[in-house]
Amino acid sequence: MRVRRAATALTLLLTATALPAAAALPARAAPAAPRPLPLPALFDNRAVSDDSRPGAADFDGAGRSLSAQDLAAAGWTPGSVLTLDGARLTLPRTTAGAPDNVVAHGQQVALRGRGEAVTFLVAGTGGTATGTGTVRYRDGSRSSYELTAPDWRSGPLSTKAVALPHLNNATGGQSAETARLYAVSVPLRAGREVRSVALPTPSAAGALHVFAVSVRDTGRGRTGSWAASTAGYRAVGPWTDRTLRLVVHSGAGGPRARIRLANTFAAAPVEIAAASIAVRGAGAAAARPPVPLTFGGGHAGTRLPAGTEAFSDPVDFTVPAGTDLLVSLHLPGTVTAAPVHQEAAQLSYLSAAGSGDRTADAGGTAFPETMTSWPFLTGVDVGGGPGSVVALGDSITDGVKSTSGANRRWPDVLTRRLWAQRAVPRYGVLNQGISANRIVTDRYPGDGVSSDTGGVSAGHRLERDVLAQPAARTVVVFEGINDMRWGTPAEDIVAGLRALARRAHERGLRVVVATVAPCAGYPDCTPAVEARRQAVNAFVRDHGGAFDATLDFDAVLRDPQQPRRMLPAYDSGDHLHPGDAGLRALGDSVDLRALVPGRR
């Protein structure tokens, strides 16, 4: 049986005989709207129990609850502040067995802030819960939103904020069944200050539970200079008391740098004891002494609970445009698995086992080992600037088959073009390509240690990799060939592209979609794949207003004499991936005006 806050009503009975004959009944005032309250004041459900007292909570009305010990093992402790998809959410400051969430049915929640989205920490019980709520702004206006909370037992692992290995049962004991919580964001009206939020009333049978809520602002005064998507959660090392020295190539330049770290897909927290940033000299050596980074207002390191991210404090460090940087991270404990971007097309470095904190080293001798992936690091941002263009794609965007260390991916080419002109804003270009990625289906399931680093689907990573990126203005979608090669029907790919565009438009982003390049000659690019490619490309070219602009990458790369094949001069040799010349042709073909919001 679900626990709900009961609404109270006062009925006034007025009798005519109690009034003088000549008296008139006063006009009845409309009932005052409930005063918005802080979310914890509305808590009416107990979701978390101690393993020794499982009957103290009943999350779903059937005596089941989350384990306080499992949450602590993930680093999700009462009162902790978690950063999820760019939003800072404070977990309930409650002990196990106390009210820690509210079952949504229209309650008014006091909330303040400006930003582009409101983020809720939620879960459904009894099935997926969907409802419509209202945001009220300080200027008196309001907007509606739709919120969907996946079920805590059966929702997708690929979009979860955290997964826990057990359920507690009121009758005693635990069941080895995965529980999930979700961070879900809904759009706000640009530039308006939030006054309160009315929680939704679910339209289906499921109950919608809210644990935390906050306004997310990822954009004010920042531009993304470099980014990489988390593609999977892979076994590493083990790494014990070592320093990673990661090489990344800046796009946009600017002052006041910060880095973004992520523990995506993880089941346990990770400690970063120290971090630094420097302009690269040669190899693992810095051109000048590295600049130390701090977190959380001056702390030397940070702890990333499972599934969360962290932003360093902005530091007085000028990032030159188009320059290799060194980002160093000291891992003081033992790390056996890490979230990674697998296809870096770049060598990075690792200090010797047990060598300790080498983040301040200007020289490179302490880093004898190399790696070809980027663990933990997901972004470098700079202060100011016009914002970011996000390239959402697969291996061709990721730069597979390009020359390692040469920064010849097509988004790199586009970045250099933007910084060489003044006709349009000099956006940062954030490369969110993942090799083997798909639009519709997940390659990596989104949970657990796996050798598959093809990522969750574009639809499932859109919030993290596009909508939550710093000052995202435009998204360029160039993806679909992997769906086609794995048998996804063309109509499903088209539906996936439409859904990506609709969600990006809801957040105010400009949406540019590219046609899919030819691949005849690659072993699994069959006539059936070609038929799907032609159908999807026909839709992209004549999209009926679903997108703001299109890029015909198919026309750029195809051989005019054999249009199912890539032009030999652009082919890396495998007939699927362009080489350096083909990637340069893609980057050079982009009409820069197509990237500017408001252009038609």
Domain that holds residue 270: 230-379
CA distances from 451 to 162, 235, 345, 454, 458 (A): 20, 8, 18, 9, 19
Residue 27, C-beta contacts closer than 8 angstroms, at least 6 positions apart: none
Strand, helix or coil for residue 172: coil
CB 225 within 8 A of CB 380: yes
The Cα–Cα gap between 96 and 544 comes to 53
Query: Does residue 596 lie within any of the structural domains?
Result: yes
User: Which of 190, 216, 242 is the last residue in one of the domains?
Assistant: 216
Residue finishing a domain among 334, 354, 379? 379
| 322 and 249 in a common domain | yes
**Residue 502: predicted pLDDT:** 98
Domain CATH number, residue 290: 2.60.120
pLDDT tens digits in sequence order for the chain, 600 residues long? 333 333 333 232 222 223 233 333 344 444 556 799 999 999 999 999 999 999 999 999 999 999 999 999 999 999 999 999 999 999 999 999 999 999 999 999 999 999 999 999 999 999 999 999 999 999 999 999 999 999 999 999 999 999 999 999 998 889 999 999 999 999 999 899 999 999 999 887 789 999 999 999 987 789 999 999 999 999 999 999 999 999 999 999 999 999 999 999 999 999 999 999 999 999 999 999 999 999 999 999 999 999 999 999 999 999 999 999 999 999 999 999 999 999 999 999 999 999 999 999 999 999 999 999 999 999 999 999 999 999 999 999 999 999 999 999 999 999 999 999 999 999 999 999 999 999 999 999 999 999 999 999 999 999 999 999 989 999 999 999 999 999 999 999 999 999 999 999 999 999 999 999 999 999 999 999 999 999 999 999 999 999 999 999 999 999 999 999 999 999 999 999 999 999 999 999 999 999 999 876
34 occurs within a structural domain: no
Asked which of 157, 183, 216 is the last residue of a domain, the reply is 216
525 and 467 both lie in a single domain = yes
**Cα 15 to the center of its chain, rounded Å:** 61
- Indicate whether 262 and 323 sit together in one domain: yes
* Same domain membership, residue 164 and residue 76: yes
On whether both 210 and 239 belong to a single domain, the answer is no
Predicted local confidence at residue 15, as pLDDT: 28
Structural domain includes residue 203: yes
Are residues 518 and 423 part of one domain? yes
Between the CA of residue 469 and those of 439, 457, 461, 496, what are the distances in Å? Answer: 19, 17, 12, 21
Asked if 284 and 150 sit in the same domain, the reply is: no
- Residue 404 zone, left/alpha/beta (φ > 0; ψ -120 to 50; rest): beta
Beta strand segments in 492-561, E: 510-514, 549-551, 558-559
Residues 136 and 272 in one domain: no
- Is residue 57 a part of any domain in this protein? yes
**Is 0.85 surpassed by the pTM of this model?**
yes
What's the pLDDT score for residue 31? 55
- Is residue 453 within 8 A of residue 231, CB to CB? The reply is yes
* 139 and 82 part of one domain: yes
First to last CA, the chain: 54
Secondary structure percentages of the chain, helix, strand, coil, to 5? 15, 35, 45
Kind plus residue range of the DSSP H or E element containing 302 = strand 302-304
Is residue 463 domain-resident? yes
Same domain, 69 and 203: yes
Assigned domain for 257 exists: yes
CATH code for position 472: 3.40.50.1110
Q: Is residue 221 a part of any domain in this protein?
A: no
**Number of independent structural domains in the chain:** 3
Distance separating alpha carbons of residues 323 and 453, to the nearest angstrom: 27
Same domain, residue pair 306 and 335: yes
Structure tokens at 182: 């979700």
Q: Give the model's pLDDT for residue 403.
A: 98
Output 370-373 pairs: Cβ under 8 A, ≥24 positions apart: 371/244, 371/347, 372/343, 372/344, 372/345, 372/346, 372/347, 372/348, 372/404, 373/234, 373/340, 373/341, 373/342, 373/343, 373/344, 373/348
What is the greatest pairwise CA distance in the chain? 100
| Residue 212 forms part of a structural domain | yes
One domain for residues 193 and 258:
no
